Amino acid sequence: MDPITQGALGAALALSAAKGESKQTLKWVALCGLVGGLAPDLDVLITSKSDTLLGLKYHRHFTHSLFFTPFGAFLLSLGLVPLLKRFLTARKVFLFTFLGIITHAPLDTCTSYGTLLLWPLKSVRYALNIVSIVDPIYTTTLIGGVLGTLVLAKLKVVRAAFILSTIYILGFGSFQNYRAREFQNYVLLKRGHMPSKKRLTNVLATLRSFRSVYIQDDQIYVDQIQVPLFGLPSVISGGSTQLYDQGQFSKFGEGLLYKDLKFYSEFSDGYLSFIRNRDGRVYLGDLRYGVASSSVNPIWGVSFVPDQHSVHARKESFVSKNNNLIREFLDLLFGRE
């Protein structure tokens, strides 16, 4: 989820748990929750010029594990206690920071990217696909609750916002996802397709539209499924593209290239398509996400030189100023579907 929402959710839960704090102290409670809510995304600082995939490997990794939460809260408290000791006890600083950080990974899990929620017990990226990484309704509800409580010193305001926003995601988000999945199955039945794999991804900033991707034989099919609040679902067909034969990775031996491609195949859940071969480099795209909801043109992917087995694969972006991401975002945001 975006950092504004993560910080707002952390602050909201911390304030919701506050008890007997003065109006002046509530802002420090919110600060602890805000810092905790933001902290796990410090993993974006893990980068390497020689290995451009390193950031992908460690984003939403150990810092997002539920088992890391108490250690993360403890480390943050070490820095916050000296600053806030005049306003909050060390115990309270830890508590409110812990409540902030514990919200981060579960919220990320509600999106489609994938989060290593139970690492190191399970190296599985969990993704519920019930909310986009940006959702204005969810975010503004949380921010309104936090600001309302800080101004009015009434905890019931932020508690109501926290409950309503949670119902919005877990209730309405799950319901919309269910509707989209049912209609996806209907579309597959009409086409006579029995895919080996299928998934839905929330379109940016809305719960009314989903990107449908599935693998049938050696093709990746892409559609946009719309589930309006009122009315029947509909589909916009985006066509299909060739699935890249990931069995070819084995011919690269056990070097850096093979390990990178194996990781990226798992990261993209196997939805890899061949983009082009240029100047000796092979470009593959991650079809989970597209430059438009029904487009077979991916946002990002990876490239490599097949005969350089000891050289890292390279992360690639396929978004240009001519793509439709911003226009589609505005159309969906204002209902111009």
Q: What is the pLDDT of residues 284-319, one digit of tens each?
A: 999 999 988 999 999 999 999 999 999 999 999 988
pLDDT at 117: 97
Cα atoms in the Cβ-side hemisphere of radius 13 Å centred on 232: 4
Q: What is the pLDDT of residues 232-274, one digit of tens each?
A: 999 999 999 999 998 888 888 889 999 999 999 999 999 999 9
Two tokens at 29?
């409670």
Q: What is the pLDDT of residues 166-181, one digit of tens each?
A: 999 999 999 999 999 9
* Predicted confidence band of residue 337 (pLDDT cuts 50, 70, 90): very low
* Predicted confidence band of residue 91 (pLDDT cuts 50, 70, 90): very high
pTM, two decimals, is: 0.92
Is the per-residue pLDDT at 19 higher than 80? yes
pLDDT at 248: 86
Nearest to 298 by CA among 307, 287, 282, 308: 287
Cα atoms in the Cβ-side hemisphere of radius 13 Å centred on 118: 7
* Predicted confidence band of residue 326 (pLDDT cuts 50, 70, 90): low
Two tokens at 63?
């810092």
Give the three-state DSSP class for 241.
Answer: strand
pLDDT at 104: 98
pLDDT at 224: 97
Give the three-state DSSP class for 49.
Answer: coil
211 and 203 Cβ atoms separated by less than 8 Å: yes
Distance of alpha carbon 224 from the chain centroid: 19
Helix, strand and coil percent figures for the chain, each rounded to 5: 50, 15, 35
pLDDT at 60: 96
- Bigger pLDDT: 336 or 93? 93
Helical segments of the chain, H only: 3-17, 23-38, 54-58, 69-84, 90-101, 104-109, 136-152, 155-166, 174-191, 256-267, 325-333
**Cβ-based neighbour number of residue 143 at 10 Å:** 19
Q: What is the pLDDT of residues 197-229, one digit of tens each?
A: 999 999 989 999 999 999 999 999 999 999 999
Helix axes 69-84, 23-38, angle to 10 degrees: 140
DSSP string computed for 144-186: HHHHHHHHH--HHHHHHHHHHHHIIIIIIIHHHHHHHHHHHHH
pLDDT at 327: 57
Is the per-residue pLDDT at 333 higher than 50? no
* β-pairing verdict for 209-216 and 197-202: antiparallel
**Cα separation, 289 vs 184, whole angstroms:** 17
Is the per-residue pLDDT at 332 higher than 90? no
**Cα separation, 132 vs 130, whole angstroms:** 7
pLDDT at 247: 87
DSSP letter assigned to residue 244 = P
**Cα separation, 275 vs 229, whole angstroms:** 36
* β-pairing verdict for 272-278 and 219-226: unpaired
What one-letter code names the amino acid at 44? V
Is the per-residue pLDDT at 330 higher than 70? no
Mean pLDDT for all residues in the chain:
94
pLDDT at 173: 98
Distance of alpha carbon 317 from the chain centroid: 17
Where exactly are the structural domains of the chain?
A: 3-173, 193-337
**Cβ-based neighbour number of residue 263 at 10 Å:** 15
Is the per-residue pLDDT at 334 higher than 50? no
* β-pairing verdict for 281-286 and 197-202: unpaired
Any bridge partners for residue 201, and if so which? Answer: 211
Omega before 228 within 30 of 0, i.e. cis:
no
Q: What is the pLDDT of residues 109-168, one digit of tens each?
A: 999 999 999 999 999 999 999 999 999 999 999 999 999 999 999 999 999 999 999 999
Two tokens at 121?
């017990």
How distant, in Å, are the alpha carbons of 14, 136, 137, 298, 302 from that of 141?
16, 8, 6, 32, 37
